[in-house]
Amino acid sequence: MAALLKTSVPTLDEFHSALQQYGDRWYAVCLKITRNPAYAEDAVQDGLMTAWSKRQQFQGGSRLDTWIHRIVVNAALQLIRKNRPQVWQPLEDDFVVDPKTPVDARAEQEMGMELAAALTQLSEFERVCFVLKHIEQWRLSEIAEALETAVSSIKQGLFRAVRKLRKSMAEWRSEQ
């Protein structure tokens, strides 16, 4: 598998293999960060171009796809910093689920709409921290590095995000 750890400069075939395997995942995370399909596409493209131009810097301490993933996420963060969208809009396909019953389907749909609405209450910083930590499973130090801030700021942003989401989603917590 081309995405395994290695120490030499990645080849074009290895980049193509990583793109085939992980391109959709990179796009999905960029879409969650930017909330804009065009920005997400641009971020993936910019990230891949950056990764390719800096492929000599790949040291093999991680898998190639992980290295590219971080570059792509940083490209998305740079785009939102540069463009600063004023209003966050939920995407219709954010919460695609395959429920087993019509009752489950309705409950999942309602929860998805409620979560989308709750996420609009977060600041851009809180939303990005939440997505990177709880959806992308990044470590706090990785988020801090990507956002060029202190780990304590990330912790505060996550705390505020979770507190706001708990308050907004309190009805769902009591139903479980």
Residue of 31, 172, 168 lying closest to 108 (CA atoms): 172
Q: What is the mean pLDDT of the chain?
A: 80
Q: What dotted CATH number matches 101-168?
A: 1.10.10.10
Contacts of 74 (CB under 8 A, 6+ apart): 47, 146
Please determine, for residue 85, whether its predicted confidence score (pLDDT) is greater than 50. Answer: no
126 residue type, one letter = E
Q: Where are the domains of the chain?
A: 1-87, 101-168
pLDDT score of 44: 94
The predicted model gives 108-116 an average pLDDT of: 74
- What's domain 1-87's architecture? Orthogonal Bundle (1.10)
The predicted model gives 133-158 an average pLDDT of: 88
The larger pLDDT score, comparing residue 162 to residue 104, is at: 162
In this predicted model, what pLDDT tens digit does every residue of 8-30 receive, in sequence order?
Answer: 788 889 988 988 999 999 998 88
Please determine, for residue 95, whether its predicted confidence score (pLDDT) is greater than 60. Answer: no
46 confidence band (pLDDT: 50, 70, 90): very high
Q: Kindly tell me the burial class for residue 122, based on how many C-beta atoms sit within 10 Å of its own C-beta (0-12, 13-18, 19 or more).
A: buried
The structure's pTM equals: 0.58
Return the structure tokens found at 42: 């641009």
DSSP string for residues in 23-66: HHHHHHHHHHHHS-HHHHHHHHHHHHHHHHHTGGG--SSS-HHH
pLDDT score of 2: 47
Q: What percent of the chain has pLDDT over 70?
A: 83
pLDDT score of 8: 75
pLDDT score of 92: 55
41 residue type, one letter = E
C-alpha to C-alpha distance for 21 and 89, rounded to whole angstroms: 28
Please determine, for residue 157, whether its predicted confidence score (pLDDT) is greater than 90. Answer: yes
Return the structure tokens found at 148: 């060029």
Distances (CA, A) of 143 to 23, 138, 152: 21, 7, 11
Contact call for residues 30 and 43 (beta carbons, < 8 A) = yes
pLDDT score of 160: 93
